[in-house]
Chain A
Amino acid sequence: MTLVDKLKDCAARSPWLYRINAGSCNGCDVELATTALVPRYDVERLGCVYCGSPRHADIVLISGPLTVHVLAAAQRVYAEVPDPKVTVAVGVCPISGGIFRESYAVCAPIDRYFPVDVNVPGCPPRPQAIIEGVAKAIAIWRSRL
């Protein structure tokens, strides 16, 4: 093990999650709350906890089709998340627009504006699927440290 790897191991801590609701119908947000708070799923086993400030976050969960109205605010909040950060698109809306695809009022897909790393499709996705996506995001986050 080289010195760089050792330093990386020291730097690895519990990744914190931050949610951005970019015009979501709240379905995915309810599932995100379920993932975190219901003991059956419990995302905190992975070391993740939702934080209130983007400046404390490591993994950003974006739900919603990124409406035109919320685009500037979402970009501003996203820029406040310190690097290295991992972006997870939760639900079909941010991935492709889903039911709102080709609407004049949404900017979906969000990968035109944010560097998305993991996609979790579903309308809404099951809590297990969100945990699976978060586990993939943590693997990417560790490789970026």
Chain B
Amino acid sequence: MNFLTLFARNLRRGPYTEPFPFGPAAPAPKRLRGRIAFDAKICEGCLLCEKLCPSGAIRFLRTPGGLAFGCWHATCVFCGTCAFYCPSGAIHQTNEWSLAHLEAEKFALAEHGLIPAIVCVECGGKGLDTAPNVAKVRPPLSDEERAQLRARCPKCRNKFLKNRGKAS
């Protein structure tokens, strides 16, 4: 709700009390900077968010299963830097504010994601199933080419893109 509509409503209705917590809470503003959400499928694995996070809430961990993402909301300051700099929009902020919890649930209040590890189809080396960073590649890649890129390790991805330029 923008300022003018809120102002008009306040003039019409006068002061009022929200029923929360005895009733449902009024919907939060759409652009409220709340809980972080992470989509592992479109993450490019650049780790920029981990470097930029001022409070150290975002951590990536290399595990045998792949690259694990973790964001602990009890230390996140909801500044939105990660969402602003994320090149693919994999990390974004929701407007969810209801985060009050008991002490026992303190460490459970986290967002998790896993970018699975893959074996490269070309060289058999280790790779990650990250979304390819191909926004600037011309001509744009087809969906089929994107899927082929995803199944390769970083070195074979570069080779694939080079050879693609030669063939066309």
Contact = CB atoms under 8 A, between A and B. Distances in A.
For the side of the interface on A, what is the size category?
20 to 34
Contacts of A45: 17, 22
A119 B18 contact: no
A129 B100 contact: yes
Contacts of A130: 100
A95 B75 contact: yes
B140 interface: no
Interface residues of B, number: 30
A131 interface: yes
B25 A128 contact: yes
Contacts of A95: 74-75, 106
Identify which of A96, A111, A121, A129 gathers the most chain B CB atoms within 10 Å of its CB. Answer: A121
Interface in A15-63: 39-42, 45-46
Contacts of B141: none
Interface in A98-137: 98-99, 101-102, 111, 116-123, 125-126, 128-133, 135-136
B97 A129 contact: yes
Contacts of B25: 128
Contact of A92 (B32, B75, B97, B100): B75
B75 A101 contact: yes
B80 to A, nearest CB: 11
Interface of B: 15-18, 20-22, 25, 28, 32, 54-56, 72-79, 97-103, 106, 109
